[in-house]
Amino acid sequence: MDDALSLEVIGPDLYENIPPSRSRPSVYGGHTVSVAIKAALLTLSQESASDKVINSVQSSFVRPVRPLTSVTYKVYNKKDGALFSHRSVSAVQEGKLVFTCLVSFKSATGDSQTGKLIYNNQEKPSIPGPDHPDYILSKNHESYPIIVKLLWPHKNEAGLPTLPTLPKVPRSCAWIKPKKAVTSQDQNDNRIWILYESDTILSSQILPQFPDVKFTFYTSLDHSVWFSDSPYKIDANDWYLYDACCLSSNSHTSLNTLRVYSKDGELVATAVQQAYIQTATAKL
């Protein structure tokens, strides 16, 4: 994936990326977010880049991004502090704004409380690990640089797959990891993988579980991610559990949440997504 996320410097805090073509007409949202974060990282000073890690990202997808067509990323320095740095990024394709985000970086050493987990009430769902034989490899992601294992061994009253031990609500769990080994030891490089994967199983896996609605199209409108403030070191080569749930949905939008856990049950990241949805009877 490193080549797909590569950036060319074309001006002060201005970068260019050519998104890849996969099995869809528009570029996967996780790709656009990841490139924007890489661009923001390039504007940190050498000292900040070695000390600060990605803390949070708030993204808005304005227009679909076309594959194989140049996208320019402009980074704006909002603040550099001892504990936090803030950047905003705007992505433009063919003269039109397609994406914008606000990203914060937090010092890993500048706070005496860093690494001291005060409270965490989120427990990993009690489902089998990634080697369980009932997992289904997602065919929707065959052209992606990731492996997605879905667990849908049981069915609810409507005859639709659901997870054991979890409430019977529109929900999906998947174990995800990169297809190729991630060689970088840099925490930001490994966190970018979590960001990339975080857009994978939200709308595309949750919405089809509604029995009476035929969804014809869905895509991210807003996507925000917060990394947990803990001493846990992310290794993108490991399997991570992505637990997604739909909070509400109507004929236009769906509000979804996501929690990312390590195999040891550590809460790694939390995400919220608002998606645009199109049904057979309702179109925007």
Residue ranges of the domains in the chain?
1-108, 130-284
Q: Which of 278, 280, 281 is nearest to 64 (CA)?
A: 278
At residue 18 the predicted structure's pLDDT band, cuts being 50, 70 and 90, is: very high
Same fold, 1-108 and 130-284: yes
Q: CATH homologous superfamily of domain 130-284?
A: Hotdog Thioesterase (3.10.129.10)
The CATH code of domain 1-108 reads 3.10.129.10
Lowest mean pLDDT among 37-41, 108-112, 243-247: 108-112
Burial string for 87-122 (b: 16+ CB within 10 Å, else e) reads: bbbbbbbeeeebbbbbbbbbbeeeeeeeeeeeeeee
CB atoms within 10 A of CB 58: 16
Kindly report whether the global pTM for this prediction surpasses the value 0.85.
Answer: yes
pLDDT digits (tens, 9 = 90+) for 250-263: 768 888 899 999 99
pLDDT at residue 116, rounded to an integer: 58
